[in-house]
Amino acid sequence: MDKFYNEQLEKLYRRAGIVREPLEAYNLPEKGPYTIEDYYAIPDERRVELIDGVIYDMASATRTHQRIIGLMYRQMIDCIEAHHKGCEVFFAPSDVQLDRDIWTMVQPDLFVVCEMTEPGEHAHQGAPAFVAEVLSPSNRAHDLIRKLYKYKNAGVREYWVIDPENRVVLVYDFENEKSVQEYSFQDKIPFGISEGCCAVDFAEIDRSVAKYDYR
């Protein structure tokens, strides 16, 4: 991962007071012992992801987490359908075979695909155009380091990291080199894959979350 992304992540971690491993540990990951066959053998009630042959348990989504993703999904799908963008929006749990290999299977919180898989397949094949992940106390390093690296190198065009605790959204536009923007929960955030047609109103999401006092 290049120096620019390192610097951006360092700023976020300093503000949040997060202790983590060095980023360099994720630059050249070694493959673990597990494959997609092992992934599918795990009981459905245990949510996990498989990344580079290593199985990672996933934290249970809080109500705040679920509400943010649900409201994002509603806003995004309404706009995409209205503008006939030819894409489709999905949310977890839904499998993505990110690298089209046997070593990685992820479940993004929310993602947009613009090239559909063939009927009958269990997972979306390859990198989605757009991915969003909501941070929780137990998954910060996973989403901010490991999955950022994986999404960037797999060909995801746009990655949003949503931090309810610090009320910020980091938008990584991987198509435009060294482009990352930080937004607050009071902003209307455009998503690049819509070519300027659509945005997510986080002020509306914030009001809804506050209304139910989930924080």
CATH code, domain with 133: 3.90.1570.10
Tell me which residue range forms the domain holding 185. Answer: 3-31+58-211
What is the pLDDT, as a whole number, of residue 171? Answer: 93
Q: What is the dihedral of CA 145, 146, 147, 153, to 10 degrees?
A: 100
Number of domains in the chain: 1
Quote the CA–CA distance of 194 and 85 in Å, as a whole number: 7
Q: Does residue 1 register a pLDDT over 70? A: no
Q: Is residue 49 part of a domain?
A: no
pTM for this model (two decimals): 0.84
Q: Does residue 178 register a pLDDT over 80? A: no
Quote the CA–CA distance of 150 and 124 in Å, as a whole number: 16
Nearest to 138 by CA among 66, 59, 65: 59
CB 188 within 8 A of CB 200: yes
Q: Is residue 123 part of a domain?
A: yes
Q: Is residue 72 part of a domain?
A: yes
Q: Is residue 186 part of a domain?
A: yes
Q: Is residue 85 part of a domain?
A: yes
Q: Which residue has the tokens 């996933």?
A: 58
Quote the CA–CA distance of 26 and 38 in Å, as a whole number: 23
Q: Is residue 41 part of a domain?
A: no
pLDDT bracket for residue 53 (50, 70, 90):
very high
What is the pLDDT, as a whole number, of residue 3? Answer: 58
Q: Does residue 7 register a pLDDT over 70? A: no
Residues in Cβ contact with 159 at an 8 Å cutoff, skipping those fewer than 6 apart: 130, 131, 132, 133, 148, 151, 152, 171, 172, 174
What is the pLDDT, as a whole number, of residue 58? Answer: 85
What is the pLDDT, as a whole number, of residue 32? Answer: 79
Token pair listed for 211: 């209304």
CB crowding 87-121: b at 16 or more within 10 Å, else e: bbbbbbeebbbbbeebbbbbbbbbbbbeeeeeeee
What is the pLDDT, as a whole number, of residue 47? Answer: 87
Q: Is residue 38 part of a domain?
A: no
DSSP, collapsed to helix, strand or coil, labels residue 6 as helix
Q: Is residue 44 part of a domain?
A: no
44 compared with 23, residue with greater pLDDT: 44
pLDDT in tens, 59-73: 777 888 999 999 999
